[in-house]
Chain A
Amino acid sequence: MAENKLLVPDREAGIIGYGAYIPRYRLPVKEVARVWADGKGGLPIHEKAVTGLDEDVITMSIEAARNALARSGIDPTEIGAVWVGSESHPYAVKPTSTVVAEAIGATPHVLAADWEFACKAGTEAIQASIGFVGSGMADYALAIGMDTAQGRPGDALEYTAGAGGAAFIIGPAKDAVCVFEGSYSYATDTPDFWRRANAIYPEHGERFTGEPAYFSHTQTAAESLLEALGATASDFRFAVFHQPNTKFPMRVAKSLGFGQDQIEAGLLVPEIGNTYAGSAMIGLTSILDIADPGDRILMVSYGSGAGSDAFSLRATEALPRRRGSAPATLIYVKRRTEIDYATYARLRGKLVLK
């Protein structure tokens, strides 16, 4: 292994508040198989979350951010940066982050920007927030990972491309519900998945998405972080990985030595689908809903193209006191209205009306 670059800021940082959002509509993926595969073939997940007609990354980010703010107890004007990571920003040019910042009352004395890196745009924003807070440039930064993912009708991605995500307010460790013990980033030029400018649907490298892409990056990032911290899988009560389907995170967890009991709480993909930039982050919110003070948590994201960010967190005494200030992630998971493929096609704008 090359030189280990553990990321640790001068000032210890942590999560001050966290919030999730999942839209209410659910498409059972057997509906995709019914329309496109005669009902045949294996199903990678049970069902996926679908946005309503009036939802997009901006509206979903606003709700997750409001939940994070409620748990943080801080005034929104104290936030120094609003950063939104996504691959489905509603505008090609015009920031998501300014609308979110305005809606939550964080404007105008604030840094706002959108981040992109396929499915790890959100954890990039977390890394930057740790640096921003850890250097003392700001006391609080809001990092959001949110997506309403695209998939060509009938393509393998349509079975899993869901919607949702999470928001975290990063701040000094003394106020945190969990602290960052250290983080790690690992990136290479690996063309496993992409969407060209102006293309509606992404392309992917079929089987190339597995071994050289997802597994190599998540595993290396996680192993490097654990090695630098002198930790092993058994030191953690929970672990959460990017979840493009159910199989990938379970396999990488197993090869790192994590058991099913450690990953179950954060494994939301069977019920909400792959939420892309929100995937590992919303899994973390579900873990924070049940973790006890002192529990250690490993989060590993993955973004195509390709890279992984790995984080080691430790829950504090403040966590149980603050989690009740916003809806638990499972409330959003259980709030569901089942839809068929026709309604899904309408909600996702796949019907030509003019």
Chain B
Amino acid sequence: METSQHWRLRKQRYALVGEVCPHCESKIFPPRDICPDCGEDAREMYQFSGRGEVYSHTTVYQAPSGHAENVPYPVAIVRLEEGPLVTAQLTDVGDQPIEIGTPVEMVTRKLGADGERGMLVYGYKFRPALVER
């Protein structure tokens, strides 16, 4: 990915900043400027809480290029408490079992590096919730 793309995506990647629809209140992630629920214009920024639960999950053993050093690693679809589904890596799982419905929270982690000399790329992952809620 180009440096310019990493730069453009930094807000949503670092902190799960999406949009809220001013017409139907839908929370939107990733931001797309058009509400997927009512089709109206939606450009107002919205800071997601980062809390959610595992909707589905799997473990990657054959990683795409750039991620081979991290195998095996878990990936999940997370249902954010505000509604949207987000696909992301799980991290810091340790020996905790991951199941559908496991409470998770967003953390900002290193997603990878653009080669040996390129920029470091940071973004959201999810980990089992640190404190019970």
Interface stretch of the complex, out of A98-106, A117-125, A134-142: A98-106
Q: Is the CB of A62 within 8 A of B108?
A: yes
Q: Indicate whether B109 reaches chain A with its CB closer than 8 angstroms.
A: yes
Note all chain A residues with C-beta closer than 8 A to B94: 24, 335, 337
Q: Indicate whether B130 reaches chain A with its CB closer than 8 angstroms.
A: yes
Per-residue interface assignment for chain A, residues 53 to 80, with 1 indicating a CB less than 8 Å from any chain B CB and 0 otherwise:
1111011001100000000000000000
A interface: dominant SS: loop
With A52-B91, A54-B125 as known contacts, state yes or no: A102 contacts B14, CB within 8 Å: yes
Q: Indicate whether A9 reaches chain B with its CB closer than 8 angstroms.
A: no
Tell me which of B10, B68, B91 contacts A102 (CB under 8 A): B10
Q: Is the CB of B107 within 8 A of A63?
A: yes
Q: Nearest-CB distance from A160 to chain B (Å)?
A: 23
Tell me which of A56, A105, A327, A332 contacts B110 (CB under 8 A): A56
Note all chain A residues with C-beta closer than 8 A to B58: none
Q: Indicate whether B2 reaches chain A with its CB closer than 8 angstroms.
A: no
Q: Is the CB of B95 within 8 A of A337?
A: yes
B interface: dominant SS: mixed
Q: Indicate whether B15 reaches chain A with its CB closer than 8 angstroms.
A: yes
Q: Nearest-CB distance from A2 to chain B (Å)?
A: 45
Q: Is the CB of B15 within 8 A of A103?
A: yes
Tell me which of A23, A59, A63 contacts B122 (CB under 8 A): A59
What class of interface size applies to chain A in its complex with B?
20 to 34
Within 8 A of B (CB), among A18-57: 23-24, 52-56
Q: Indicate whether B82 reaches chain A with its CB closer than 8 angstroms.
A: no
Name A21's closest neighbour in chain B (CB-CB).
B107
Name B68's closest neighbour in chain A (CB-CB).
A353
Q: Indicate whether B1 reaches chain A with its CB closer than 8 angstroms.
A: no
Note all chain A residues with C-beta closer than 8 A to B110: 53-56, 58-59
- Docked pose: A34 CA to B120 CA in angstroms: 35
Note all chain A residues with C-beta closer than 8 A to B70: 53-54
Name A346's closest neighbour in chain B (CB-CB).
B69
Q: Is the CB of B120 within 8 A of A103?
A: no
Per-residue interface assignment for chain A, residues 322 to 333, with 1 indicating a CB less than 8 Å from any chain B CB and 0 otherwise:
000001000110
Tell me which of A55, A102, A104, A332 contacts B109 (CB under 8 A): A55
The chain B residues found within 8 Å of chain A, CB to CB, are 10-11, 14-15, 47, 68-70, 89, 91-92, 94-95, 107-111, 119-120, 122, 125, 130-131
With A54-B89, A91-B120, A331-B131 already in contact, 16 other A-B pairs whose C-beta atoms are closer than 8 Å: A52-B92, A52-B109, A53-B69, A54-B70, A55-B109, A56-B110, A58-B110, A58-B120, A63-B107, A94-B119, A102-B11, A103-B108, A103-B122, A105-B15, A105-B47, A335-B94
Q: 21 A–B contact pairs at CB < 8 A?
A: A52-B92, A52-B109, A53-B69, A54-B70, A54-B91, A54-B125, A56-B110, A58-B120, A59-B107, A59-B109, A63-B107, A90-B120, A102-B11, A105-B47, A327-B131, A331-B130, A331-B131, A335-B94, A335-B130, A337-B94, A353-B69
